[in-house]
Amino acid sequence: MQMNKSNRTSQSQFEDSSATKLHSFAASLSLKIVVIITLAAISPANRGFCAEIEFFVSPDGNDVNPGTRALPFKSLEAARDAVSRSDRNSQRIVWIRAGVYELDRPLVLTAEDSAGSGKRVLYRAWPGEKVRVVGGREIAGFKPVVDRTILGRLVPEARSRILQVDLKAAGIEDYGTAKGGGLELFFDGRPMTLARWPNEGFVKIDGLAEPDTVNVRGTRGSKTGKFMYTGDRPKRWSEENDLWVHGYWFWDWSDERHKVEAIDTEKRIISVAPPYHRYGYRVGQWFYAMNILAELDRPGEWYLDRKTGILYFWPPAPIEEGHPTVSVSDMLVSLSDVSNLTIQGVTLEACRGTAVVMNNCTDTQIVGCVLRNLGSQAVRIEGGSNNSVTACDIYGT
């Protein structure tokens, strides 16, 4: 009998313990569900947002349309204008359907594109669809190089691989410079390499034409951009007219690009055009040469003749598969004095400068976006309050 009582006691304790654990688990699960629902409700893009006015944009739309789901706009500018004409005291959303939206100038948003107090304007990709806002233009019409003069400047193994396209014929005539902030080429969503030497890494300054004209606490160098190199590679560059060098000229943390003014291949001296690097030049520091047609010698490299507008490219895959795109716009989205606005779920890419610039904005958000392949920063926020960049992927800046 004592054993039965003990068994019953153990069983009762087990049942009580199991019930307690079950209730604890259920309570914990309920709490987790509540927390998840609560977090979803208060996340920046979903703070109880219920659209009262909707507009739609699609690459297949037309800007003369009313911007409805059945008859969408074609451009983001048309949607912006429709938003600015609508009631600012309403919740408004611009649904952006899948596709590529090419911009040759930034989408400009100002105070009149804002929402009133307690309301919001939301520019959002349609759920499950991929939206790309591209500050460039996809280029077609590549063909093999047949000009014998150009072929003669290329290494033999590259001659049958290089393709060319006329950017002027495509209406693109502003190329910027190789110093930075100019035109870039992207292929299959990746930046390509401006033809350079060496293909990887750097070479070192071997000597200075005017040494000991800079002395920084015992670290000596030259204030003049005339430095020596080793080897005879630059003898191949005699026909290059837009050659640049990129280097860390005095300190390992300060780099700059210079246009090459002259190369003395006998004395092995490269002279760069002023203004010179603010810290000077030092033996042993490192650099590479770039924007050189003669060095277009491997897949993924390109060169642009800024006089003729001809772009030369060795594609790393069949040209039609990579959607070659050149950057055109300096910026993608400019926001000034904007309040209560969110951009969500889009990819912003391929511009020459900063993708998104906010000036004196309030409660303006970039949420869940991809910002990539940019000439400068992803987002720059100047002044204002309560602005944020949340849950974004940023690379290639």
Q: Distance between CA atoms of 270 and 132, rounded to whole angstroms?
A: 42
Residue ranges in the chain whose pLDDT is less than 70: 1-49
Return mean pLDDT, the chain. Answer: 90
Total residues found in the chain within this entry? 397
In tens, the pLDDT along 143-180 reads 999 999 999 999 999 999 999 999 999 999 999 999 98
Q: How many CB atoms lie within 10 A of CB 115?
A: 22
Domain limits of the chain? 1-42, 53-135+329-395, 137-195+295-326, 203-290
Whole-number pLDDT of residue 51: 75
Whole-number pLDDT of residue 2: 40
Whole-number pLDDT of residue 49: 60
CATH of 53-135+329-395 among 1.10.3720.10, 2.30.30.230, 3.30.2420.10, 2.160.20.10? 2.160.20.10
Tell me the DSSP string of 181-222. SS--EEETTEEPEEPEESSSS-EE--EESSTTSEEETTEEEB
User: Of 239, 226, 244, 234, which is closest to residue 176 (Cα–Cα)?
Assistant: 244
* Reported pTM: 0.83
Whole-number pLDDT of residue 19: 43
C-beta separation of 322 from 315 below 8 A: yes
Give how far the C-alpha of residue 53 lies from the chain's centroid of Cα atoms, to the nearest Å.
32
Residue 131 CB burial class (10 angstroms; 0-12, 13-18, ≥19): buried
Whole-number pLDDT of residue 48: 53
